[in-house]
Amino acid sequence: MKFIVSSSDLLKNLQVLGAILNTNNTLPILDNFLFEIDNNELNITSSDLETSLSSKLSIESSLNVKIAIPAKLLSDIIRSLPEQPLTFSINENNTIEINSNNGKYGIAYMDGNEYPKSIIIEDALEISLDSSSLEKIISSTLFASGNDDLRPVMSGVFFQINSDNSCFVATDAHKLVKYVRKDIKTSESVEFIVPNKPLNILKNILSEKNSVIKVLFNKSNAIFSFSNFRLVCRLIEGKYPNYDAVIPKENPNVLEIDRVLLLQATKRASIFSSKSTHQVKLDIKGNSLKISAEDLDFNNKSEEILECNYNGEDITIGFNSRFINEMLNNLSSDLVRIELSSPKRAGLISPISSSSEDEEIIMLVMPIMLN
């Protein structure tokens, strides 16, 4: 029983699928890739029970078989081989032999029927969107999501889609991103929370794809199907926080500044900030922005002055430099707007111009009390 597959095609897929695997699986079978061969089609799956990812490959075969092959061992040997066709021979003694141009390698396999069955979604709703839109949604929001086990609903991105537009939100209680798309709609209002891990995996795959993505989902699970990939994930249960309630509505102090200049200055200031708070201080007077940081434990400090366009009262406010850097890094606009009300209330960061009229983005960052 044999099948032939390209080593480079196989390696590309194994590298993507390997991102699902955990180092300490509760079930030994999950340390394996599931190979399902149906004549000239090979379907490879990896899973951690919460999330599973499958990819399809064209092969030369007349088999119909299902086996589980150790993931690390297989990835290591395929990675070390140059591009060539590989012949996999499945033997009756539960071993598979890989024949290359210069050698052969034997690996013990497990019965593929022991692998967890793929989730079937019942009473599913469906939406479709292109891969570039989904990648933009993920990259604009995911960095702001939390990872606190005590607040699991924040460990993902909130999808809220209706007949007018769609809204995607992520927060960890210190920072928040609200990303609105007017070109993604559905006939009936839907809401669900997608965990961080599957979104990170999707983000890495989508950067190289240009395709339409079909999303099927119900209250418990979602399936993302595109190109030769199919990702199934369990959704986060629970009610998402009322994010609109924490976004300040009246912000009379408005600063406009070059995004890159502000990002570079904040990065430099962060080098001198306290390693516990990462605090940078923004002191705004007239059309001048002074960015300073100080680490009292080591007597290190920095200070820079940037020109800006400011309308409002003089204000001094402190922020976590890491949060400011993340937000500015995930915006593409040349100029950004920072809206403030007081040193004790959240600040809003948004792009002054957008690459598309169909999108709006607001980023919120909580202040740090100044010493």
For residue 75, the surrounding DSSP H or E stretch is: helix 71-79
Q: Which of 20-29, 114-123, 321-330 has the largest mean confidence?
A: 321-330
Average pLDDT rounded to a whole number, residues 151-170: 95
The torsion region of residue 124 among left (phi > 0), alpha (psi -120 to 50) and beta comes to beta
- Top pLDDT among 355 and 81 is at 81
Position 245 pLDDT exceeds 80: yes
Q: How does pLDDT run across 125-156, given as a tens digit for each residue?
A: 899 999 999 999 999 999 999 998 899 999 99
All domains in the chain, ordered by first residue: 2-114 (3.10.150.10), 125-244 (3.10.150.10), 247-365 (3.10.150.10)
Q: How does pLDDT run across 221-238, given as a tens digit for each residue?
A: 999 999 899 999 999 999
The torsion region of residue 34 among left (phi > 0), alpha (psi -120 to 50) and beta comes to beta
Distance separating alpha carbons of residues 89 and 67, to the nearest angstrom: 12
Distance separating alpha carbons of residues 262 and 282, to the nearest angstrom: 11
Position 5 pLDDT exceeds 80: yes
pLDDT attached to residue 120: 85
Q: Which residues of 248-260 are buried (b: 16+ CB within 10 A; e: fewer)?
A: eeebebebebbbe
Average pLDDT rounded to a whole number, residues 347-361: 90
In percent, the amount of the chain with pLDDT more than 90 equals 85
Position 41 pLDDT exceeds 90: yes
326, two tokens = 């993340």
Position 25 pLDDT exceeds 90: no
Average pLDDT rounded to a whole number, residues 50-63: 94
Distance separating alpha carbons of residues 56 and 326, to the nearest angstrom: 35
Position 371 pLDDT exceeds 70: no
Position 208 pLDDT exceeds 80: no
Maximal C-alpha separation, the chain = 80
Instruction: Provide the Cα torsion 266, 267, 269, 271; round to 10°.
Output: 160
3-class secondary-structure state, position 283: strand
In percent, the amount of the chain with pLDDT more than 70 equals 99
Determine contact, residues 156/199, Cβ cutoff 8 Å: yes
**Closest by CA position to 120, among listed 232, 236, 42, 235:** 232
pLDDT attached to residue 207: 74
pLDDT attached to residue 62: 87
Per the prediction, the chain carries an average pLDDT of 94
pLDDT attached to residue 210: 80
- pLDDT-derived band at 314 (thresholds 50, 70, 90) equals very high
Determine contact, residues 216/125, Cβ cutoff 8 Å: yes
Position 103 pLDDT exceeds 70: yes
Q: Compute CA distances 109 → 1, 2, 59, 115, 154, whole Å.
A: 14, 15, 19, 12, 39
